[in-house]
């Protein structure tokens, strides 16, 4: 059997590598129009960082896993074609700002129909608005040249940073298809691939629309949990409750569960906001304005949380950060990935730059060109203007040197055990630490002399800081 995947991104690359690693007799080809990306997949420097991914790719690459820019050949040789191209939020026309831009997906369907030389199973891997399969089907059938195309929806639930583990032991694999003989046969063909390593009871089959909607709903429910906790983090700060204690207590109820209740500076990533806005657009389309308004608030709270974090920084730092150096620890949208898409760090840094701060940024995996380009895009400044106000440092100690404050924006494990005495000595006093992920050792840092501000906590100011603030405020 031959499988092809169009789109060698964060989803297509790891997913196909896992299929190839688990099924040595299936030839898997990942194609992409981006030549540089394919070159990277064929090199030792893979284009994305994921723990364990290198090993999985190396085990199968050249054996039954191939990366290529020859999209047409990939389509012709495969009986199952995954479509895993990006579907960004539309920036123009009807639905701008909320609907998904399906241009890439439709182009793929047209290309498949044009070059196909036999029957194909086309699998939607990209997250798509509900009923996209219908449009795909029409495009494919209108250009079918006598061949049969079965459409399946097989949404990906992997989370970045844990992609390999999620693919190896998924909570579930979801496959949606038509309730026709040929649709059911197509479902079974794909079930057989996953059943090589996923227990059968974890492979769920549904109709197309349930599968498409399940992906949006899963992401919306996950994001909603974070926004709920983040909304409550403000109440914790106001009342003296500690958000970590509150979520721990609530999460002990097995009906609520303890996962995904971590208060933060805000969620990011390529999926949550896009998928919720997609859901909102869908609800409005069907005249369900109350439902749309309800889900839209999840995004509103997320935006508010980022703004609130920056306001707290400014308030704490005597209402001005103009000209002050601030060390930013973490730029990726979460730990263990080099992905910066929709990262909370982008919005926080933009707001700090608007207040004329100088930033010294350190992230263990995000490269400085990505940081500069994200910030240039976010601020509208030229890259060289960004570089006048932002430096990327090679370690957290360099970033903190001479800084008035440090802000943790990504929960990288290495930030938990830094030499905070050393950092404190090198900073301006009072030395502020804003923990946007609640991972720092707050009590230890307070004992050293830091003024620590954390999400959902109103930590008492350490005695040393209180005296310093009064006596020698160095600017």
Report in angstroms how near the CB of residue 359 gets to ligand UDX at its nearest: 20
Burial label for 345, CB within 10 Å (0-12, 13-18, 19+), is buried
Please, which residue, 17 or 423, has the CB nearer to ligand UDX?
17
Residue 252, token pair as written in the block: 């002990």
CB 474 within 8 Å of CB 442:
no
Q: Which is nearer to ligand UDX, 197 or 260 (CB)?
A: 260
Nearest Cα to Cα of residue 222 among 126, 334, 312, 332? 334
Number of H helices, E strands in the chain: 19, 14
Please give the residue whose beta carbon sits closest to ligand UDX in the complex.
Answer: 9
From the CB of 429, what's the least distance to ligand UDX, in Å?
A: 31
Q: Which is nearer to ligand UDX, 37 or 442 (CB)?
A: 37
The minimum distance between CB 282 and ligand UDX, in angstroms, equals 15
d(CA 298, CA 231): 10
Buried/exposed code over 433-467 (b: 16+ C-beta within 10 A; e: otherwise): bbbbbbbbebeebbebbbbbbbbbbebebbebbee
Gap between the Cα atoms of 351 and 309, Å rounded: 10
Six-digit token string for 139: 């495009």
What's the distance, Cα to Cα, between the start and end of the chain in Å?
67
**Cβ at position 177, least distance to ligand UDX in Å:** 18
CB of residue 349 vs ligand UDX: minimum separation in angstroms?
15
Whether 4 is catalytic is no
Locate tokens 């906001």: which residue? 273
* The 2-6 sheet, strands edge to edge: 65-68, 27-31, 2-6, 80-83, 120-124, 149-153, 173-177, 203-207
From 23, 108, 236, 271, the catalytic residue: 271
Q: Which helix (H) or strand (E) holds 111?
A: helix 103-115
Residue 161: CB minimum distance to ligand UDX, A: 7
Task: Pick the closer one to ligand UDX by CB: 22 or 337.
Answer: 337
> If you write DSSP's letter for every residue of 399-411 in order, what string do you get?
HHTT-SEEEE-S-
Which residue number, 217 or 461, has a Cβ lying nearer to ligand UDX? Answer: 217
Q: Which is nearer to ligand UDX, 29 or 446 (CB)?
A: 29
Closest CA to 296 of 220, 352, 371: 220
Residue 163: how many other CB atoms lie within 10 Å: 26
At closest approach, how far in Å is the CB of 467 from ligand UDX? Answer: 35
Nearer to ligand UDX, 271 or 313 (CB): 271
425 three-class SS: helix
Alpha carbon distance 237, 242 (integer Å) = 7
Helices 243-251 and 208-239 pack at an angle, to 10 degrees, of: 130
Residues that bind ligand UDX (CB under 6 A): 6-12, 32-34, 37, 84-87, 104, 107-108, 125-127, 156-160, 219, 222, 226, 260-262, 264, 267-272, 333-334
Q: Which residues are catalytic?
A: 271
């Amino acid at each position: 059997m031959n499988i092809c995947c169009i789109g060698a991104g964060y989803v297509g690359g790891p997913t196909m590598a896992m299929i190839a690693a688990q099924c040595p007799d299936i030839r898997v080809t990942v194609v992409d129009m981006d030549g540089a990306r394919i070159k990277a997949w064929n090199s030792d420097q893979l284009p994305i960082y994921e723990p364990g991914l290198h090993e999985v790719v190396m085990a199968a690459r050249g054996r039954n896993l191939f990366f290529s820019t020859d999209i047409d050949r990939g389509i012709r040789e495969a009986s199952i074609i995954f479509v895993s191209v990006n579907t960004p939020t539309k920036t123009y026309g009807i639905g701008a700002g909320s609907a998904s831009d399906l241009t890439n997906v439709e182009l793929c369907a047209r290309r498949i129909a044009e070059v196909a030389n036999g029957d194909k199973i086309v699998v939607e891997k990209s997250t798509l608005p509900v009923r996209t399969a219908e449009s795909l089907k029409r495009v494919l059938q209108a250009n079918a040249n006598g061949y049969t195309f079965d459409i399946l929806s097989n949404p990906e639930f992997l989370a970045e940073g844990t992609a390999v583990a999620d693919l190896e032991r998924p909570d579930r694999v979801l496959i949606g298809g038509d309730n026709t003989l040929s649709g059911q046969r197509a479902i079974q063909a794909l079930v057989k691939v996953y059943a090589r390593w996923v227990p059968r009871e974890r492979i769920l089959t549904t109709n197309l629309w349930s599968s498409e909607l399940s992906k949006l709903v899963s992401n919306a429910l996950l994001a909603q949990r974070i926004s709920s906790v983040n909304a409550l983090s403000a109440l914790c700060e106001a009342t003296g409750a500690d958000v970590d204690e509150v979520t721990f207590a609530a999460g002990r109820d097995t009906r609520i569960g303890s996962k995904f209740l971590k208060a933060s500076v805000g969620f990011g990533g390529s999926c949550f906001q896009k998928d919720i806005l997609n859901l909102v657009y869908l609800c409005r389309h069907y005249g369900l304005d109350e439902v749309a308004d309800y889900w839209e608030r999840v995004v509103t709270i997320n935006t508010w949380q980022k703004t609130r974090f920056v306001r707290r920084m400014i308030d704490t730092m005597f209402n001005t950060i103009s000209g002050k150096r601030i060390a930013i620890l973490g730029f990726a949208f979460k730990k263990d990935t080099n992905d910066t898409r929709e990262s909370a760090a982008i919005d926080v840094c933009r707001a700090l730059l608007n207040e004329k701060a100088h930033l010294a940024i350190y992230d263990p995996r995000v490269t400085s060109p990505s940081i500069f380009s994200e910030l240039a895009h976010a601020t509208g400044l030229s890259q060289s203007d960004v570089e006048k106000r932002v430096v990327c440092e090679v370690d957290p100690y360099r970033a903190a040197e001479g800084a008035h404050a440090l802000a943790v924006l990504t929960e990288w494990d290495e930030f938990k055990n830094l030499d905070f005495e050393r950092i404190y000595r090198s900073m301006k006093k009072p030395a502020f630490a804003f923990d946007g992920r609640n991972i720092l050792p707050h009590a230890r840092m307070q004992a050293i002399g830091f003024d620590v501000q954390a999400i959902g906590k109103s930590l008492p100011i350490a005695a040393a800081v209180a005296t310093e603030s009064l006596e020698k405020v160095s600017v």
